[in-house]
Amino acid sequence: MTTVARNADAESDPRVKAVFDDIRATRKSDFINNFWHYLTFDPKLLEDTWYGVKAVMAEPSALDPLTKELIYIAVSITNSCSYCVHSHTAAARAKGMTEAMHADLLRVVATAGRTNQLLNGLQVPVDPVFNAE
C-alpha cells in the first residue's frame, strides 16, 4: 500500500523520460526501482531528488562509492526506513560489500545504537577537547 498511485504511463511525460534515461545511463541498467516510479506523480520532485542523489552518490568525491553506501544504510536503519535499507543494501552489494563487511556494518551500527542510548541517558557533558573551535 502506498500514499500515491503508480503511473504506468509516466514516461510519456518528457521530463520523466529524461530522468529515467539518466538513471539507466548512470547505472548502466534498464531496471528502474519503485522509488523513482512513485516519484513521477510530481516531475519536479522526481528531478530534484534524482539529480540530488546522483550528485552525491554517483559522482567521484572524497569517500569511495562503497563507503558512501554503508553510511547511507546506517542512516536508513536508524531512521527505520525499510525501503531505504533494502535498496541501499542491494546497492552496497553491487558495489562489492561482502557478507563479512555487511556483518561488520551491522555490528558498528548496533554498537552506536547502544552507546547513543547510554549517552542520551547519562547526559554527559562534552569534553572541551572535542570542540573544533
Report if residue 23 touches a second copy, rule: CB under 8 A: no
Contact status: 125 vs a second copy (CB under 8 A): yes
Q: Which stretch binds a second copy (CB under 8 A): 10-18, 19-27, 98-106?
A: 98-106
Stretch that binds a second copy, among 9-17, 18-26, 43-51 (CB under 8 A): 43-51
CA distance 72 to 83: 12
From the list 38, 47, 58, 95, which residue makes contact with a second copy (rule: CB under 8 A)?
Answer: 38
Q: In this structure, what is the dihedral angle of CA atoms 99, 101, 103, 105, given to the nearest 10 degrees?
A: -150
- In whole angstroms, the minimum distance from the beta carbon of 86 to a second copy comes to 4
Tell me which stretch binds a second copy (CB under 8 A): 9-17, 20-28, 48-56. 48-56
The rounded radius of gyration (Å) of the Cα atoms in the chain is 19
Residue whose entry in the numeric block shows the C-alpha cell 521530463: 15
Give me 100's grid cell.
Answer: 563479512
For residue 97, give the amino acid letter: M
Tell me: does residue 44 bind a second copy (CB under 8 A): yes
94 interacts with a second copy by CB under 8 A: no
Torsion of CA 97, 82, 87, 113, to 10 degrees: -30
List binders of a second copy among 64-93 (CB under 8 A). Answer: 67-68, 70-90
